[in-house]
Amino acid sequence: MKEKVVLAYSGGLDTTAIIPWLKETYDYDVICCCINCGQGEELDGLDERAKLSGASKLYIEDICDEFSEDYIVPCVQAGAVYEHKYLLGTAMARPGIAKKLVEIARKEGAVAICHGATGKGNDQIRFELGIKALAPDIKVIAPWRQDNWKMDSREAEIEYCKAHGIDLPFGTDSSYSRDRNLWHISHEGLELEDPSQEPNYDHLLVLSVTPEHAPDEGEYVTMTFEKGVPTSVNGKKMKVADIIRELNRLGGKHGIGIIDIVENRVVGMKSRGVYETPGGTILMEAHDQLEELCLDRATMEVKKEMGNKLAQVVYEGKWFTPLREAIQAFVESTQEYVTGEVKFKLYKGNIIKAGTTSPYSLYSESLASFTTGDLYDHHDADGFITLFGLPLKVRAMKLLELENKKNN
C-alpha cells in the first residue's frame, strides 16, 4: 500500500496541478480535502475534477457553522480588526481548515499534509502553525517552496497537466487572485498590484455594488444579540451562519464594507488588496453599537487592547495557542451583559445608527441630561478637576519656578 498524503484542495489550477506532482514526486496516494467555508459555486464539479487529476478520493467538508460560531463570533466579540481595517476574513478561516485537514489525515492514516500556498503569503504560516499545533508528527509539504516544483506560471501549470493527460477547463487569461468564504471575498492582482491605480470596481466586485450603484433609498435593519452573539435579523431568529448570509445580501445591495488596503504581511512585505465584507462590516458595527451602551469605560479600554492583540494573533496564524485562549476568555467575560437590540439604516456604503436598547444599558438619561439630580451635583466637579489636574498643575508650577530662576 502506498503512503497517503492529504491535499488541501480548492479545485483551482494550482491544487489541480499539485495532484499529479505529488504522485510523480513522492509516489503518494493523494486524498483531496476541500473545506467548505462558504465558497458557494466554486465547489461545483470538484469531485470529477479531482478524480480526473489522479486523486483517489475527495472529501468535501462543510464547516460553515463551526467557522461562524467558533472563529467568527469570538473575533466579532473582541472587535478584532487588523491594522484598523482588515476584518480577518481569510485569517479566521485558516485554523478551521487546518483542524479539518488534520482530522482527515488521522482518519486516512496519512503521513503528510500538502497545501498550495505560495512562499510569499500569510497562508503558508497559518496552515502550518495550525498543523504543527494539532499534529506535530505529520509532515507538511509546501510545493511552492521546493526546488523540484518547476511551475512558475499558469501556462506552465496548464502544460504540466496536459502532459499528464489532464485536460481541464482552465484558461491562460489573467484574472484577480481571489479568496472567498462566508465572511468575505478578497481580491489581489492586476491593477491592484500598483497602489497608485484605482481599483476597477465594475470588473472586480462579486458580493457588492459600489455606493454609487446602491439604491437611492436607505433600508432599516434591526438585529438582536444575546451575550454578544447575534441571534436575529429583522425579527427572524437564525443561526449565526444564516445571519451572516442575510447581512451579506443586505450589505452587498447597499455597497457596505468595500475596502482598499495596503497591509503588512507576516513575511515582511506589503501587499495591496480589495476586500468585500458586507455582512461582516454590518455585524461588527452592530455589535460595537450595543457595547457602547453595555460596557463601562475601563473595560472598554482594556478590551480594545485585547481586540488589537487578538487581531495580530489571528493574522499570524497563532489560533491554537494559550495566548488566543486567554484573550478569548477575557473577551467572553466582557460579553455577559452585551444583550439587546440595535437598529440602523444602510445607505450608499454607510451604516447609520437608528437606536439601541438593552436591559443592561449603563446609560442614565437623568445623569446625562443637563438637569441636576440626586446622583450628580455640578459642584462635585470642582474637587474632581483639582485632583485630576494636579499632576499637570504641579509640573507647570515647577517649570515656571525653574524659568524664573534662570531669568533672575
For residues 213 and 215, give the distance between their C-alpha atoms in angstroms, rounded to a whole number: 7
CB atoms < 10 A from the CB of 113, how many?
A: 26
Q: Between the CA of residue 404 and those of 44, 391, 392, 407, what are the distances in Å?
A: 81, 20, 18, 5
For residues 396 and 369, give the distance between their C-alpha atoms in angstroms, rounded to a whole number: 34
For residues 196 and 186, give the distance between their C-alpha atoms in angstroms, rounded to a whole number: 19
For 404, the grid coordinates are: 524664573
Residue whose C-alpha cell is 483542524: 99
Which alpha helices (DSSP H) does 53-185 contain, by range? Answer: 64-66, 73-78, 89-108, 123-134, 154-163
Contact indicator for 63, 39 with CB cutoff of 8 Å: no
286: phi then psi, degrees, rounded to nearest 5: -65, -40
According to DSSP, residue 217 is labeled S
Q: Check 53, 68, 123, 180 and give the catalytic one.
A: 123
Q: Which helix (H) or strand (E) holds 47?
A: helix 46-52
Active-site residue flag, 14 = yes
Q: Check 14, 180, 186, 208 and give the catalytic one.
A: 14
Q: Check 94, 126, 178, 180 and give the catalytic one.
A: 94
Active-site residue flag, 177 = yes
Gap between the terminal Cα atoms of the chain: 96
Residue whose C-alpha cell is 437564525: 238
User: Which residues, in sequence order, are bridge partners of residue 270?
Assistant: 264
Q: Check 56, 177, 271, 361 and give the catalytic one.
A: 177
Active-site residue flag, 123 = yes
Active-site residue flag, 382 = no
Q: What is the DSSP string of 102-138?
A: HHHHHHHT-SEEE----TTSSHHHHHHHHHHHH-TTS
For residues 234 and 115, give the distance between their C-alpha atoms in angstroms, rounded to a whole number: 41
**Residues marked as catalytic:** 14, 94, 123, 177
